Amino acid sequence: MIFNELEKKPGARFLFILACLVVIVYGLQFAAPILLPSALALFLAVLSLPVMAWLVNHRIPSGLATLITVLVNVAVIGLFILLASPSVAELQNNLDQYVLDLQERWSQWMTWLENSTGFEISDYLTVSIIDPGAVVDIARGTIGRIAQFLSTTFVVFLIMAFMLSEATVFPKKFRYILGVRGGDEDRFTKIATEIQSYLGIKTVVSLATGLVLGIWAYVLDLDFPVLLGMIAFLLNYIPTVGSIIAAIPAVLLSVIKFGAFPHAIFVAGGYIAVNTVVGNIIEPRWMGRSLGLSTLVVILSLLFWGWAWGPLGALLSVPLTVGVKILLENTEDLRWAAILLDKGPPLDTTPASDSVRADI
Predicted confidence (pLDDT) per residue in 115-128, tens digit: 666 666 555 555 45
**Quick check: 350 pLDDT over 50?**
no
CA distances from 61 to 11, 111, 162 (A): 56, 70, 15
Lowest mean pLDDT across 173-177, 247-251, 261-265, 317-321: 173-177
Strand-pairing partners, residue 257, are none
What integer is the mean pLDDT of 211-218?
93
- Which residue type sits at 37? P
Domain ranges within the chain, ordered by starting residue: 1-30, 42-168
Residue 349 pLDDT: 45
Task: Reduce the secondary structure of the chain to three states and give it as a string.
Answer: CHHHHHHHCHHHHHHHHHHHHHHHHHHHHHCHHHHHHHHHHHHHHHHHHHHHHHHHHCCCCHHHHHHHHHHHHHHHHHHHHHHHHHHHHHHHHHHHHHHHHHHHHHHHHHHHHHHHHCCCHHHCCCHHHCCHHHHHHHHHHHHHHHHHHHCCHHHHHHHHHHHHHHHCCHHHHHHHHHCCCHHHHHHHHHHHHHHHHHHHHHHHHHHHHHHHHHHHHHHCCCCCHHHHHHHHHHHCCCCCHHHHHHHHHHHHHHHHHHCCHHHHHHHHHHHHHHHHHHHHHHHHHHHCCCCCECHHHHHHHHHHHHHHHHHHHHHCHHHHHHHHHHHHHCCHHHHHHHHHHECCCCCCCCCHHHHHHHHC
Residue 107 pLDDT: 73
Share of residues in the chain with pLDDT > 70 (%): 71
Strand-pairing partners, residue 350, are none
Residue 145 pLDDT: 61
**Region of 331 on the Ramachandran plot (φ > 0 left; ψ -120 to 50 alpha; else beta):** beta
Closest Cα partner for 121 from 134, 106, 104, 101? 106
**Quick check: 215 pLDDT over 90?**
yes
Distance CA 314, CA 308 (A): 9
**Quick check: 314 pLDDT over 50?**
yes
Name the band, by pLDDT with cuts 50, 70 and 90, for residue 345: low
User: Which is more confident, 180 or 256?
Assistant: 256
CA distances from 305 to 32, 60, 74, 293, 335 (A): 10, 39, 25, 15, 22
Q: Quick check: 256 and 102 in contact, CB under 8 A?
A: yes
pLDDT digits (tens, 9 = 90+) for 13-59: 677 778 888 888 888 888 888 888 888 888 888 888 888 888 888 88
Residue 248 pLDDT: 87
Average pLDDT, the chain: 76
Phi–psi pair at 277, nearest 5 degrees: -65, -45
Residue 117 pLDDT: 65
Distance CA 166, CA 213 (A): 38
Residue 283 pLDDT: 77
